[in-house]
Amino acid sequence: MSQQLISRSPDLKRLRDEGYDIEIRAGHLLVHGIPYVNSSHSVAKGTLVSTLTLAGDVTCTPGTHLAYFIGEHPCNMDGSEIAQIRHDTRAQTLGENLVVHHSFSSKPVSGAYSNYHEKMTTYATILSSPAHAIDPTVTAKTFAPIATDEGDSVFVYLDTASSRAGIGALSARFAGERVAFIGIGGTGSYTLDLVAKTPVKEIHLFDGDKFLQHNAFRAPGAAPIERLRQAPYKVHYFRDVYSAIHRGIIAHPYDITEENAGELAGMSFVFLCIDGGSSKKAIVARLEALGISFVDAGLGVELGEEGLLGLVRVTTSTLEKRDHVRTRVSFADAGSDDLYRNNIQIADLNALNAALAVIKWKKLRGFYLDLDREHHAIYTLSGNVLINDDKL
């Protein structure tokens, strides 16, 4: 609720985007972490408080130039209280869980503050200037993490990257999606790493394998040895890691096969990141029957006379184009491929495969411009070349 108010009010959003630690509590605006100098000449942190004048769910012009403060009375560098802003010093309860210690009065030259950004930054500057003179590194712009309320957002904390870049409306294109990952190995885990940072509604992970030591070398982040000793299922390991940022991750600790592929009904998109094999053929057929778009991501590495070479493939199947998949994707049971298995230092190829797959999904959703509309793309490692095929 309060984050919506902040997002819709340009002055509050600007405070948040600039890194101020703001909170709406008991109908008041709080700015935490304001550095000031106390009477013993040391730098402390306090909270500026203002009443909040609203129209519906956006801010209006501030109703008063007065502000409140939680903390000691702010001082000059010499320890004397800043007299120019002094108004009142007594504990006042402004609302539930909101007790202030001082009030300040500093009227702008124009007679009134035009918005809450102007008001709060003006007071913050007055309070912080002496502190800044003592320690130039202190700042009120702390970029403190912003938690969200459960039910408000799929994210555990607010997606400030999108709001700061002004692409919030674009990233909303992913909201409501139910995305499934079939296979959460090297490529699947890097794909998850990217998708978990989009506001999709649900992320379903399907994989029956355990997360073992060698997997840790082809996965994003760094797995602690204690977690490896527990030998968790891959889906549980990655659910636990990415639940730190996304609330909608659902783990299914088994493989998708011909028998249970019906569980994919209702998904809006599928990332197919499993080795070739007969079950892949059945999954593709079921996805087509269910009318679900998907990308199949795969790579291969060969040992040439002068070093490793390989191809990274992203094949896309949509309602508009599916016929090419059977000539492009191998459904043969992959034999034991010692080259891939033993060369674990190729996570960059998994990451590239994942990034190309996620870029294609975002193009299908209209987030990125897609002029070629290719449904098959091959990256050739030895020449650093990307080739598009099966264009619409």
Partner 1 sequence: MDETEPGKAAGSPSAAEVALQHVREAERDLAQAIGAEARAEHQLEHAIEELEAAEHREFRVIVNGRRTEVDKNRLSFAEVVALAFPKPPPGQNIIYTVSYRNGGDKHHPEGTLVAGQSVKIKDGTIFDVTATDKS
- From the CB of residue 355, how many other CB atoms can be counted at a distance below 10 Å? 17
* Residue of 40, 110, 137, 327 that binds partner 1 (CB under 8 A): 327
DSSP state of 269: E
Q: Please, what's the b/e burial string for 231-253 (b: 16 or more CB within 10 A of its CB; e: otherwise)?
A: ebbbbbbbbebbeeebbbbebbb
Return d(Cα 135, Cα 43) in angstroms, integer: 8
The CA-atom distances, in angstroms, between 353 and each of 241, 250, 376 are 21, 23, 12
- Please answer whether residues 20 and 141 qualify as being in contact, where contact means their C-beta atoms are separated by less than 8 angstroms: yes
Q: At a CB cut-off of 8 Å and minimum separation 6, what does 158 contact?
A: 3, 146, 147, 148
Number of residues lying near partner 1 (CB under 8 A): 44
Closest distance to partner 1 from the beta carbon of 375 (Å): 12
Stretch that binds partner 1, among 77-85, 165-173, 284-292, 375-383 (CB under 8 A): 375-383
Binding flag, residue 357, partner 1 (CB under 8 A): no
| Helix H or strand E encompassing 130 | helix 116-134
Stretch that binds partner 1, among 96-104, 156-164, 219-227, 383-391 (CB under 8 A): 383-391
Binding flag, residue 337, partner 1 (CB under 8 A): yes
* Residue of 25, 210, 328, 363 that binds partner 1 (CB under 8 A): 328
Query: Closest CB to partner 1 among 82 and 351?
Result: 351
- Please answer whether residues 86 and 127 qualify as being in contact, where contact means their C-beta atoms are separated by less than 8 angstroms: no
- Local structure of 256: helix, strand or coil: coil
**Binding to partner 1 in span 249-288, by CB under 8 A:** 273-276
Stretch that binds partner 1, among 3-11, 151-159, 232-240, 382-390 (CB under 8 A): 382-390
Q: At a CB cut-off of 8 Å and minimum separation 6, what does 18 contact?
A: 141
Stretch that binds partner 1, among 28-36, 242-250, 305-313, 360-368 (CB under 8 A): 305-313
Per-residue binder mask for partner 1 (CB under 8 A), 171-210, x = binder: ------------x-xxxx----------------------
Binding site for partner 1 (CB under 8 A): 183, 185-188, 273-276, 297-302, 304-307, 309-313, 327-335, 337, 340, 376, 378, 380-383, 385, 387, 389
